[in-house]
Amino acid sequence: MGEEIKKGLMGVTVDETAVSKVMPEINSLTYRGYAAQDLCAECKFEEVAYLILNGELPNKKQLKKFEKQENKERKISKILVDAIKKIPKKAHPMDVARTVVSIMGLEDKETRDNSPEANMRKVMRIFAKTPVALAAFYRSRKGKKIIPPKSNLSFSENFFHMCFGKVPNKDIVKAFDVSLILYAEHSFNVSTFTARTITSSLSDIHGAITGAIASLKGPLHGGANEEVMHMMNKIKKPENALKWINNALDNKDVVMGFGHRVYKSGDSRVPTMREYFGKVAKIKKDKKFEKIYDIVEKVMIERKDIHPNVDYPTGPTYHLMGFDTDFFTPIFVISRITGWSAHIIEQHAANKLIRPLAAYNGSKHRQVTSLSKR
């Protein structure tokens, strides 16, 4: 009897965390004990970022200080701006995200200091500067002038301002804020585990977040929201949706935006994001993607009993907001920096090098023959 192999570490508990949990008793993702959908209803993204990083929701004074710190760190260096301008226009924005965090690591004077205090200062810099750098590339690749951050705008408002040169109405901003809250953290997912693994070697936070971004790029993780939009663009119009999804299932094609390893009866984030998807569609007077969404969802549940995950409503919501499809996952990045950072800090606090075993299934011992006899 050989060793039992747990492919993908399925069902293996490797460590403890106080950052987040999907609580089965309420079938909900929770951050520090608070249901994510309740945080969406009561808080703006900055409050949730503070909660994830500090363990408690902020009072007014703490929030003001946190926002002031984030605001102060927004400006990016001329070196970074020049690097962004030189990046090939056709580069994937996720590769740009990875690169800009790496450059920040080269510039940061505290890169090698892994003390809790230094790490929190670096977190604030990465958190504040990454959206600025990504928005700069968003403009640069279109041949447009880079728009610097504004100090009198919220985190979400500022991102819209830097990408489009204007801030949309408050309902669109709220929908964006909700998406950031829902994407902010999700326990030991692939990218978070990557960040913790890198951290376990006592590497630096910039390196850990760079690795996490590389992991998030994949379509089985963060890249799914992009794939959802590609799927909807293939379907083109609601009249095609029923035939398209049935053909996809008949051909055993993978339908992106559905299923989740953690949730057994549907992703608890979906109802909230679906609601805001509907609100954005109404504001934009475009119900096409909602209709496609509903038809595909209905067939997936009826035929496969597979429910949508949060990427399914988020993709078309970002599209309606005006973002390019390949920018959907980088938006995920600017939110998830909070969750990654909390896990990196937690890993440092009780570190053990992550070094699993592998069951060898290669050749038995062999003798080496000289080159002339091979």
Catalytically active residues, by annotation: 221, 260, 311
Spatial separation of the C-alpha atoms in residues 256 and 254, rounded to whole Å: 6
Residue pointed to by tokens 């973002």:
323
Q: Using CA atoms in the order 152, 34, 309, 91, what is the torsion angle rounded to 10 degrees?
A: 40
8 Å CB contact between 56 and 32:
yes
31: tokens are: 């951050």
